[in-house]
Amino acid sequence: MMRDAPISDRVVVYERPQALADIHTHYCPGCTHGISHRLVAEAIDELGLNDRAIIVASVGCSVFSYNYFDIDACEAAHGRAPAMATGLKRVSPDRLVFTYQGDGDLASIGTAEIIHAAARGEPVTAVFVNNAIYGMTGGQMAPTSLPGQKTTSSPFGRSTDIAGFPIRMSEVLAELDGSAYIVRRSLHNVKEIRRAKKAIKTAFKVQMAGLGFSMVELLSTCPTNWGMSASDALTWVADTMVPYYPLGDYRVIDAVKDL
Amino acid sequence: MVKGTITIDQDRCKGCELCTGVCPKDVLVMDNDTLNAKGYHPALLQDPDELCTGCAQCAVICPDVCITVYRDPIPAR
CA A206 to chain centre: 16
pLDDT of residue A31: 96
What pLDDT digit, counting tens, does each position of A35-78 carry?
999 999 999 999 999 999 999 999 999 999 999 999 999 999 99
Domain range summary for chain B, segments of one domain joined by +: 4-71
- What residue type is A245 in one-letter code? Y
Tell me the pLDDT band of A5, cut-offs 50, 70 and 90.
low
* CA pair distance A218, A233, nearest whole angstrom: 14
Q: Are A61 and A33 in contact (CB under 8 A)?
A: yes
* Closest CB to B63 among A5, A34, A190: A34
CA A95 to chain centre: 19
Judging contacts by C-beta atoms under 8 Å, the chain B residues touching residue A189 are 22, 61
pLDDT of residue B64: 95
pLDDT of residue A155: 95
Alpha helices in B1-77 (DSSP H): 18-22, 57-61
Provide the shortest C-alpha distance from residue B11 to chain A (in Å).
9
Provide the shortest C-alpha distance from residue B26 to chain A (in Å).
16
Tell me the pLDDT band of B8, cut-offs 50, 70 and 90.
very high
**CB–CB contact A35 B14 (8 Å):** no
Q: What is the CATH number of the domain that holds A180?
A: 3.40.50.970
pLDDT of residue B75: 73
- Element of type H or E holding A219: strand A213-219
Domain count, chain A: 1
Q: Using alpha carbons only, what angle is made at residue A221 by residues A184 and B6, rounded to the nearest 5 degrees?
A: 95
Judging contacts by C-beta atoms under 8 Å, the chain B residues touching residue A45 are none
- Angstrom distances, CA of residue A58 to CA of A66, A193, A206, A238, A248: 9, 22, 22, 26, 25
- What residue type is A62 in one-letter code? S
Mean pLDDT across chain B? 93
- What residue type is A146 in one-letter code? L
* CA pair distance A56, A62, nearest whole angstrom: 10
A228 Cβ under 8 Å from any chain B Cβ: no
Q: Mean pLDDT, to the nearest integer, of B51-67? A: 95
* Residue A13 domain-assigned (yes or no): no
Tell me the pLDDT band of A10, cut-offs 50, 70 and 90.
confident
Select the residue from A3, A8, A12, A14 to test the B interface by mutation, using most B Cβ atoms within 10 A: A14
What is the complex's ipTM, to 2 decimals? 0.93
Helix (H, G, I), strand (E, B) or coil at B60: helix
Question: Tell me, which fold does domain B4-71 have in CATH?
Answer: Alpha-Beta Plaits (3.30.70)
Strands B4-8 and A248-252: unpaired
* CA pair distance A118, A191, nearest whole angstrom: 29
* Residue A104 domain-assigned (yes or no): yes
**What is the dihedral sign for C-alpha B26, B28, B31, B32?**
negative
Q: What are phi and psi of A150, to 5 degrees?
A: -85, 125
* Residue A92 domain-assigned (yes or no): yes
* Closest CB to B12 among A7, A13, A24: A24
Mean pLDDT across chain A? 94
pLDDT of residue A2: 46
Provide the shortest C-alpha distance from residue A121 to chain B (in Å).
32
Other beta carbons less than 10 A from residue A173's beta carbon: 25
Tell me chain B's radius of gyration from C-alpha atoms: 13
What pLDDT digit, counting tens, does each position of B24-57 carry?
999 999 999 999 999 999 999 999 999 999 999 9
Among residues of chain A, what percentage have pLDDT more than 70?
Answer: 97
Provide the shortest C-alpha distance from residue A57 to chain B (in Å).
19
* CA pair distance A20, A186, nearest whole angstrom: 21
Judging contacts by C-beta atoms under 8 Å, the chain B residues touching residue A17 are 65
- DSSP for B42-54 reads -EEE--TT-----
What pLDDT digit, counting tens, does each position of A143-198 carry?
999 999 999 999 999 999 999 999 999 999 999 999 999 999 999 999 999 999 99
- DSSP for A41-57 reads HHHHHHHT-TTTEEEEE
* Residue A17 domain-assigned (yes or no): no
User: Nearest-CA residue of chain B relative to A8?
Assistant: B70
* CA pair distance A29, A42, nearest whole angstrom: 21
**CB–CB contact B68 A9 (8 Å):** no
**CB–CB contact B68 A3 (8 Å):** no
Tell me the pLDDT band of A8, cut-offs 50, 70 and 90.
low
* Residue A215 domain-assigned (yes or no): yes
